[in-house]
Copies of this chain bind each other. A is one copy, B any other.
Amino acid sequence: MKTLTKTMKAMIIKDFGDTNVFAESETLKPEPRSKEILIKVHATSANPVDCKIRKGMFGSVFKLPTILGFDVSGTIEAIGEKVTDFKVGDEVYYMPRINGAPGAYAEYHIVEESIVSKKPRHISHEEAASFPLACGTAWDALIDRANIKIGETVLIHAGAGGVGAYAIQLAKLCGAYIYTTCSSKNHDLVKKLGADKVIDYKKEDFVEEIMKDTNNKGVDVIFDTVGGEVLTKSIEVSKPFGRISSIVRVNANLEQAYLKNISLHFVFVQSNRKKLDIMANLIERGQLKPVIDSVLPLSQVIDAHKKLEAGGVRGKIVLRITS
């Protein structure tokens, strides 16, 4: 077994707060035990959940100091003595559990092998790191929970966003007809990803547009990535017995959901190897494509968070780890 260096660089937060809480620090390099794997992280990404944790919204789960970052694409550097599915040198991708353990804004990351999957071949680590959390969220919301089926109609809110851009592709692969909202500058992008009907939420009322287009029938499935008023209004465009998956804390008026027999699935993305395995197959076959807004070095994580919080991101913001 080769000697491990004892420290690593990581982007640590010591306080909850604004983007200025990040500090690039030297910290103890972890060692894998039992079924754990030590990964040399090549790329991670910035997700809205990072901003929420940074602000202290998950204060009961994450204790300070901590490391954010819930996407990984990297190479296995060392394995615990009970690891059976991987070997040193394997290239892998995964979503670290959001359970209070350190994330991957760091040179190295420790993970249990059960949630790790082989990185899709023929794409870069930057591209691979754009999938696990965002595409995994869309997967949980549309496939596992809403159980979207061929021929159904789906409304995907914010289709040009990190999660939305993968949701459109997954819904298309499932044989659905896709309505999506985005600003007009992203019209071409979402069309290319597979959206059938694009609604400019800044200029058009999505309820009016969809009811007109569906002869007042509404849609089968709604993927809410926005919450509040958008969720309240989404109930109006749901068919009776429609399914709504929401990935945001609810602060909506659900009065009308009752007469319509709506099922509302609250979705908080789960780490799961099987899902990543299938996604890797789709990626390798060219059926699922990375959608990347920008790639920044980890040292520019503050810019990444500012950009995310400003809104209007086109796909994912990837963070490159350079040693």
Which A residues lie at the B interface, using CB under 8 A? 140, 145, 246-250, 254-255, 257-268, 270
Contacts and interface: CB of A to CB of B under 8 A. Distances in A.
A257 B250 contact: yes
12 contacts: A247-B258, A249-B258, A250-B255, A250-B257, A254-B254, A261-B267, A261-B268, A262-B265, A263-B264, A263-B265, A264-B264, A264-B265
A257 B262 CA distance: 16
Contacts of A260: 266, 268
A266 B257 CA distance: 6
B258 A266 contact: yes
A288 to B, nearest CB: 23
Nearest to A265: B263
Contacts of A140: 261
Contacts of A145: 261, 263
Contacts of A267: 258, 261
A250 B235 CA distance: 13
Contact of A261 (B250, B255, B270): B270
Nearest to A263: B265
A133 to B, nearest CB: 15
B254 A258 contact: no
Contacts of A264: 263-266
Contacts of A263: 145, 263-266
Contacts of A254: 250, 254, 266
Given A247-B258, A250-B257, 5 more contacts: A248-B258, A261-B266, A263-B263, A263-B266, A264-B264
A294 B257 CA distance: 33
Contacts of A268: 258-261
Chain B CB count within 10 A is highest, among A250, A260, A262, A270, for A250
Contacts of A265: 261-264
Contacts of A262: 265-266
Contacts of A247: 258
A255 B249 contact: yes
A88 B247 CA distance: 54
